Amino acid sequence: MPIIVDAMGGDNAPEAVVAGAVEAAREFGLSITLTGHEDALRPLLSRFDAPEGIRVVHTPEVVGMGETPMEALRHKPDSSLSVGLRLLKEGEGDAFVSAGNSGAVMAGALLTLGRIAGVQRPALAALFSSPHGPVLLIDAGANADCEPIQLLQFAQMGAIYMERVVEIASPRVGLLSNGEEPTKGNALTRKAHELLAASSLRFIGNVEGRHLAEDVVDVVVTDGFTGNIVLKVMEGVAAALLQLLREAVESQLHYRAAALVLQPALRGVRRLSDYAEYGGVPLLGVAGTVIMAHGRSDARAIKNAIRAAQRAADQGVVQAIQEGLRATPTGKE
């Protein structure tokens, strides 16, 4: 079954999305369904010399980046986003990828696909590259206010994703807090700590902000408010440092030599906040494989998001979450 891609979603759509889809089709031999306006997509497919296996489903409407999610969904039933999600629901594809309005993608996925039985709240699982390897931060922004049981479910869903898709056996799960001792934290995390400690997860206890860049944890569990702030702090710090380094290098005559020496380090810095590396953030907990790509996605990011979507679908992440939560008594609603 094809991967369904919202070709009109994102700051660089449809061009970057079509380019990324063409690359994914060519490089990985994937079959892809693009939802979007035919008049915009056909010429791009010709220009990029699209291989077999890319199909277009024409949709006359587009959800804007600034629209409120509910308005967009209600007033534009024939948008590339809504149609794409309906195709997934109807079994016309294995997974759905969009770089469009993230609020609308989340709300649309929840409305169209529904939640996996037992899941209280779907969550965004952001994979980032620490110097030691991939780390998954969940929830990265879907739920600003959470209950303890929801943090436990985020941990369960995140661990399943890391095991199946990123192939980290028995991932170490940590609870983001303001101190390592179990008594540290706020009311939410102290209660969540108890639930996590009593679960069958490989729970290593509380982790602090500094641990995100150390090799101690694979899945970092937090509420969506804190998770979103943490990701953006990392992004901001990395951007500021790259700027400082660039200025330092450019102010010197030995520009080329230094730039050469710096390459590996610069790459490490950039990877820390490189959304394109993994391409997208899975929305875990909805009854379908949905990958949200960054709004600023370029072709490479779209290509990687499509690959992540295919991988999540092949590895049965949705079914695994369903079974995983069924096995946990606290996972019931």
Q: Looking at the chain, how many residues does it have?
A: 333
Distance CA 158, CA 132 (A): 18
Can residue 304 be called a binding residue for a second copy (CB under 8 A)?
no
Contact code string over 260-289 relative to a second copy, x by CB under 8 A: xxxxxx--xx--x-----------------
Query: Which of 60, 64, 133, 236 is the binder for a second copy (CB under 8 A)?
Result: 236
Give the total of residues touching a second copy (CB under 8 A): 59
Site for a second copy (CB under 8 A): which residue of 35, 177, 289, 315?
177
The verdict on 185 binding a second copy (CB under 8 A) reads yes
Taking CA atoms, 301 is separated from 12, 32, 194, 238, 260, in Å, by 11, 16, 38, 19, 25
Least separation, in Å, of the C-beta of 295 and a second copy?
13
Q: 6 near 100, Cβ under 8 Å?
A: yes
d(CA 133, CA 110): 31
- Alpha-helical (H) ranges within 15-125 are 15-28, 38-47, 69-75, 80-89, 102-113
Q: How many CB atoms lie within 10 A of CB 319?
A: 12
Span interacting with a second copy, options 6-14, 48-56, 141-149, 167-175, rule CB under 8 A: 141-149
The site map against a second copy for 284-303 (x = CB under 8 A) is --------------------
Binding mask 25-64 for a second copy (x = CB under 8 A): ----------------------------------------
Min separation Cβ 239 and a second copy, Å:
7
Measured from the CB atom, is 64 or 179 closer to a second copy? 179
Which of 70, 197, 237, 327 touches a second copy (CB under 8 A)?
Answer: 237
Q: Please, which residue, 170 or 178, has the CB nearer to a second copy?
A: 178
Q: Is residue 127 involved in binding a second copy (CB under 8 A)? A: no
Using the rule CB under 8 A, which residue among 61, 78, 147, 235 binds a second copy?
A: 235
Query: Which member of 233, 319, 323, 332 binds a second copy (CB under 8 A)?
Result: 233
User: Are the C-beta atoms of residues 45 and 56 closer than 8 Å to each other?
Assistant: yes
**12, burial (CB in 10 Å: exposed 0-12, middle 13-18, buried 19+):** middle
Query: Least separation, in Å, of the C-beta of 230 and a second copy?
Result: 5
For the chain, how long is the longest CA-to-CA vector?
65
User: Residue 204 in 3-state DSSP?
Assistant: strand
Among residues 169 and 253, whose Cβ is nearest to a second copy? 253
d(CA 80, CA 18): 13
From residue 324, alpha-carbon distances to 85, 189, 200 in Å are 24, 22, 10
The distance of closest approach from Cβ of residue 45 to a second copy in the complex, given in angstroms and rounded to an integer, is 35
Q: How far apart are CA 201 and CA 328, in angstroms?
A: 11
* Residues 197-226, interacting with a second copy (CB under 8 A): 208-214, 223-226
* Cis peptide leading into residue 14 (ω within 30°): yes
Query: Which 238-257 residues touch a second copy, going by CB under 8 A?
Result: 238-241, 243-245, 247-249, 251-252, 254, 257
The one among 60, 77, 131, 133 contacting a second copy by CB under 8 A: 131
Which of 73, 65, 112, 69 lies closest to 91 in space, CA to CA? 112
Instruction: Give me 278's structure tokens.
Output: 């993994």
Nearest CA to 170 out of 233, 98, 218, 118 is that of 218
Interaction site with a second copy (CB under 8 A): 130-131, 141, 144-145, 176-179, 184-187, 189, 208-214, 223-226, 228-241, 243-245, 247-249, 251-252, 254, 257-258, 260-265, 268-269, 272
